[in-house]
Chain A
Amino acid sequence: MIRRLAGLLAVVALAVGAAQAQDELVIAFQGGAATLDPMMRNETTTISWQRHIFDNVTAFDREGNVVPGIATSWENVDPTTWHFEIRQGVTFHDGTPMTAEDVAFSIDRAATHPMSEMRGGLSTFEAATALDADTVEVTTTAPDPLMPANLDYVRVIPQALIEEVGEEAFAENPVGTGPYVFQDWLAEDYLQLEANPDYWGGAPAYDDVRLTAIPNGATRVAALLSGEVDMAVTVLPQDVPRVEAASDAYVSQVPGLRVIYLALDDVREDTPGMSEPNPFLDTRVRQAVFHAIDMDTIADRIMSGASTPASQFLAPFNEGYVEDLERPAYDPDRARELLAEAGYEDGFTVRLDAPNDRYLNDALIAQAVGGQLGEVGIDVEVNAVPRAVFFPEHFNNGNSTMAISGWASNNTGATLNGIFHCWDEDAGLGRFNPFWYCNEEVDAMIAEAITIFDADERAAAFGEIIEKSQTEDVAYVPLHYQNQVVAVAEGLDFEARGDGYVFATDVTPAD
């Protein structure tokens, strides 16, 4: 009976399968685009989906370099004025030619629309004007060497069309200059695309592309293994071995942008969850924590290899990443020595706060870290709670002495200002600095570094700050980079990007 039923179902399934075009590429993501208006949400999947339809003004390549998009080159005319050369001969999907005015309009809209989340990266923006057919001038309120990089936030939209049909209608029927043409979609569920044969970068390899959301990790991998989708983005650590064991799929992974770190309160005398004066005020205790944690074991046992022990707070392709900065070695004996030097031969007790539903395996990581610290005499009481409790009650509230959190940004200036700068509400600095880490020397170095126009000099200055705060101050204890893990069907070539973007244009049939 069951066999006959299965046979019947197989016939139905075959009929359905046969109806699908052979050359359609289906990519399953964890979520879907929130909106197709490219100036609203600054969120990786939303932008991944949108960038099939729209072109960026500039873009980051997978190594973190700023490369041309619609702007082919740029120069700094004076400290607050930039000129961007505009690509010629580009047309929108509806056939109208793209002009320098469209580019200026798009930059302006991203920087000034009240609902635009792109404004964060464009806070120095003053004005954008089309000087002539192939030049757009962007002026800033203060010298901003990162303006070309920040135009990675801007996707080019047709001014005349959006003004004619209105924002809402445009977002439901978007028209861009990108490699794929919009067909149909359902917010946060799927996006159906067709190749743009006249794309300036060359016609894409696949005629039809479907981007789809499968929120559950196990289902996402199952859909790949059963051949319903060609790629599964964001494979969870526990599913990695399943894909690796399968004969018709493989895993592509690379250290990602997100660093998971341990924050220690090194400022307050009396801290929550501790009975004695705060031991973390002593730098040696913070160094001991660094030496006591074995990230290789955590990567192996908890993350199934889907993480990379972090050498520093910045990801490998972040501007300012210090190549020769190494993670302090795992050395429990050294940790015990340091604790003894600081007067804690008998250890102490501390509460470790962590979210249990925000980062990959966050609660398990907290438990492992707690256990490892216990080995050297720091008795850790792990308090893993839902993010809805963790962030408002512990992390943003100072109700913690030791906490696990994560950070991801491809703008090192924003990272330094947000998390390494002393807290300054009026200036909007140190907004994400959880435990008031504050070193005025570091603040001065940040203020100087973000105004350096020479890219190499600036990266070196950023690196110096990272190195100083880590080796001298032990401001944070970086744990690991979450890997970007994509499972790919055999027969396709694809390499995951560290910044988490996934583009159909990066997929090619294997020969």
Chain B
Amino acid sequence: MTTFLLRRTAQALFTVWVVATLVFGLLHVAGDPAQILAPPDMNQIQVQELREALGLDEPIWVQYGLFLGNLLQGDLGISYYNGRPALELVLERLPATFELVLSALGIALVAGVPLGILAALSAGSRLDRALRFVSVIGISAPTFWIGIMLILVFSVEWGVLPSSGRGGPVNLVLPAVTLSLFSLAFFLRIVRSSFLEVLNQDFVRTARAKGLPRGVVNVKHALRNALIPFVTIAGLQFGQLLTSSVVTETIFAWPGMNRLVLQAMYRLDYPIILAFAVVVAVTFATINLIVDVIYGFVDPRVRHA
């Protein structure tokens, strides 16, 4: 078990290193942050001084060495634009993004799974068709449009929910619902189709044939099997939401890390972009590690694979 853990941890660290190196490399072909940072009234000499102050005048391999050395000590540099440690800026906004993503995922699970089951059980009926139609809207309507519509109805017309900012739970409602819609519709469709698939399998038919009550067959036999692939998909969806909430964060002025990183990209603020990449990579690696460990306990074959 210890070797297994050690090997997986080493793999996780390797992944983080690869991600950090790739992002570092991509950034340094993207342009010159000093030129972007410098206001129009600075002359070339002053821009060069700025470049030196940022350490951007060094050859790229020296910068890379410094970056790796600092990374090992948990130091991801000072944001060019905000003048504060980049990791601090990202971590400061991480809870807001987590709060939003977990709420959205919660809504999607609580609503999407039962609706998917309902649709599968009533397959072909008018209810099923209605649910499928609504789910197509949920998947294809742009987040941007949905967000603005919700604001117009709930904040401007009815005045019942705040349009923007982060504060109490009321502030969370509109952004979480907006962010959840795609996942909700997606879950609905996945659960419906995988449940239907299982319902048509031989062992379900056998169970029914030997006279088990319909409810027992549906829940104990069919649903359990149908939800196995879904667990993996829900996990992937979490990762997907974690980095794709940028539109929602922007519309609702939600102070999450994706909004910060979007701004940083416009400004070529390398330290923030790198800190974000490292934080996301570490988060993913940790989740994978935990999943692997759990699998290792559950299924001994994985441990030796």
Contacts and interface: CB of A to CB of B under 8 A. Distances in A.
Interface string B154-172: 1110111111110110100
Interface in B29-57: 31, 37-46, 49-50, 52-53
B260 interface: yes
A455 interface: no
B83 interface: yes
B129 interface: no
Given A123-B46, A188-B260, A414-B41, A13 B159 contact: yes
Contacts of A245: none
A428 B40 contact: no
B151 interface: yes
Given A212-B253, A215-B250, A227-B159, A34 B81 contact: yes
Contact of A119 (B46, B161, B252, B253): B46
Interface in B239-263: 250-253, 255, 259-260, 263
Nearest to B151: A222
Given A187-B82, A212-B253, A227-B159, A120 B39 contact: yes
A120 B46 CA distance: 7
A432 B47 CA distance: 14
A374 interface: no
A114 interface: yes
Interface string A152-195: 00000000000000011001100000000000001111100000
Interface residues of B, number: 49
A12 B173 CA distance: 12
A79 interface: no
Nearest to A392: B31
A252 B260 CA distance: 30
Interface in B45-94: 45-46, 49-50, 52-53, 81-84, 89, 92
A172 B83 CA distance: 11
Q: For chain A, give the interface size range.
A: 35 or more
A441 B163 CA distance: 56
B178 to A, nearest CB: 11
A16 B255 contact: no
Contacts, number: 152
A115 B42 CA distance: 12
Contacts of A31: 263
Nearest to B155: A226
A114 B251 CA distance: 36
B111 interface: no
B254 to A, nearest CB: 9
A120 B40 contact: yes
B152 interface: yes
A121 B44 contact: no
Contacts of B173: 9
B102 interface: no
Contacts of A431: 40, 43-44
A120 B92 CA distance: 32
Contacts of B118: none
B91 to A, nearest CB: 13
A411 interface: yes
A51 to B, nearest CB: 17
B280 interface: no
B249 to A, nearest CB: 9
Contact of A34 (B42, B82, B158): B82
A10 interface: yes
B40 A418 contact: yes
A223 interface: yes
B73 to A, nearest CB: 18
A409 B41 contact: yes
B46 A6 contact: no
Given A114-B49, A222-B155, 12 more contacts: A13-B170, A16-B162, A41-B81, A117-B39, A123-B43, A188-B260, A190-B255, A212-B165, A214-B165, A219-B147, A226-B159, A431-B40
18 contacts: A9-B154, A9-B160, A16-B162, A28-B164, A34-B81, A115-B83, A117-B37, A117-B38, A190-B165, A215-B253, A216-B253, A219-B253, A223-B155, A223-B164, A388-B31, A407-B40, A414-B40, A431-B40
Nearest 7 interchain pairs by C-beta:
A428-B43, A120-B41, A120-B42, A114-B53, A9-B160, A414-B41, A214-B253
